[in-house]
Amino acid sequence: MPTSRDVVFVDGVRTPFGRSGPKGLYAETRADDLAVRVIRELMRRNPGLPPERVDEVAIAATTQIGDQGLTIGRSVAVLAGLPKSVPGYAIDRMCAGAMTAVTNVAGGIAFGAYDVAIAGGVEHMGRHPMGEGIDPNPRFLSEKLVDGSALVMGMTAENLHDRYPEIGKERADAYAVASQEKVAKAYANNKIQPDLVPTAIRTGALGWGLATEDEPPRPGTTMEGLASLKTPFRPHGRVTAGNAAGLNDGATGCVVAAADVAAELGLTAKMRLVSYAFAGVDPEVMGVGPIPSTERALRLAGLSIEDMGLVEINEAFAVQVLAFLSHFGIADDDPRVNPYGGAIAFGHPLASSGVRLMTQLARQFGERPDVRYGLTTMCVGMGMGGTVVWENLAWEGAK
């Protein structure tokens, strides 16, 4: 049996995220072409990685039909020009698709099945709305296995407000405003742009163009503006388009490798995977998923939440983040949490978001040699959570 090897995150990139719909950035762009763009950029940025040394391509998509079908990991590997000897496959764990792609290939690397892999995700929610083509088994409701609200993510967020009444709409709106402000500041300080892949787009009568920045952020968002938004999931509810992530299009990808192989190839590893965990919760309150997954991942790592100097949590809904922070005794405005802002501003193209979290954490690690550990975490549709604990390879204590 091979011994376990250290697994490292070498590099991560993403396309700019777009708003879904006929007027969005990628309305006339194929989903698989977004993923191809990411893979090509990873190879360009890492010239020390020979294409034939890529052992696997794992790409996630929640809706695996149309241009997100055809075993998308394999199809985009071929389209990106990788050798046809490089295999690939598709993954679906809804919002945690890209996160699962990373943990899957990491397990293979640790075991010795792979040396280097590319993992990521893509979601074109404009072409493939959430739930397109699905046929939920009637037993879910007839046998009361889940409440009907479990199948509508916005309703699960309203349920979470019921469970945590201290998290009212005003607190959720305040968190959303802060997320928008942090994203605007990160852009102003050039924290986001280095890991964005300029992506060719076609916009009807305007012809060809280039997407170079995220479309969803709304700088200048105010509490007054959010207060006036409708609550579409419940009359007089608390969840709005302003304190939740939108419907978005985009792709992410990263290079993951064995630590010794990265060194052999001259690749600069940014962080080491310490532990990971996924957990299930009641689907009706899927937003609490990151709580048990984080508790388990920390337990496996022999660490505590106090050891985490940085936390990247996906902002599917403000209430879901606030429930996590409250559980762990973390203040709403703790500077460790989403320093560059989150999905309420950036957007959340479902299966792609896990690697966005990792890419941002890796960049923050490079700026913070005083921080040794951080985590990436997210809630997942149908009642799950996922968490990965990372070690900063630029940590000053290692020198």
- In this structure, what token pair is assigned to residue 90? 């598709």
- In this structure, what token pair is assigned to residue 317? 């809904």
Counting DSSP H helices and E strands in the chain, the numbers are 12, 12
Strand-pair partners of 58: 89, 119
Q: Which of 95, 124, 128, 161 is catalytic?
A: 95
Give the integer Cα–Cα distance in Å for 227 and 50. Answer: 53
Q: What is the dihedral of CA 331, 337, 339, 342, to 10 degrees?
A: -110
Question: What letters, b where the CB count within 10 A reaches 16 and e where it falls short, cover 342-360?
Answer: bbbbbbbbbbbbbbbbbbb
Give the integer Cα–Cα distance in Å for 301 and 390. Answer: 10
Give the CA distances from residue 170 to residues 163, 164, 304, 314, in Å, rounded to whole numbers and listed in that order: 16, 13, 30, 20
Q: How do the residues of the chain divide into helix, strand and coil, expressed in percent and rounded to 5?
A: 40, 20, 40
Lookup result for tokens 């060809």: 208
Q: What is the DSSP letter of 15?
A: P
Using the Cα atoms of residue 259, residue 265, residue 269 and residue 275 in order, give the sign of their dihedral: negative
Give the CA distances from residue 205 to residues 21, 82, 147, 328, in Å, rounded to whole numbers and listed in that order: 16, 34, 46, 51
Q: Which of 124, 128, 161, 348 is catalytic?
A: 348
Q: What residues have CB less than 8 Å from 366, skipping those under 6 apart?
A: 270, 394
Q: Which of 128, 161, 254, 379 is catalytic?
A: 379
- Say whether 95 is catalytic: yes
- In this structure, what token pair is assigned to residue 155? 């309703």
Give the integer Cα–Cα distance in Å for 102 and 96. Answer: 10
Give the integer Cα–Cα distance in Å for 192 and 207. Answer: 27
Name the residues annotated as catalytic: 95, 348, 379
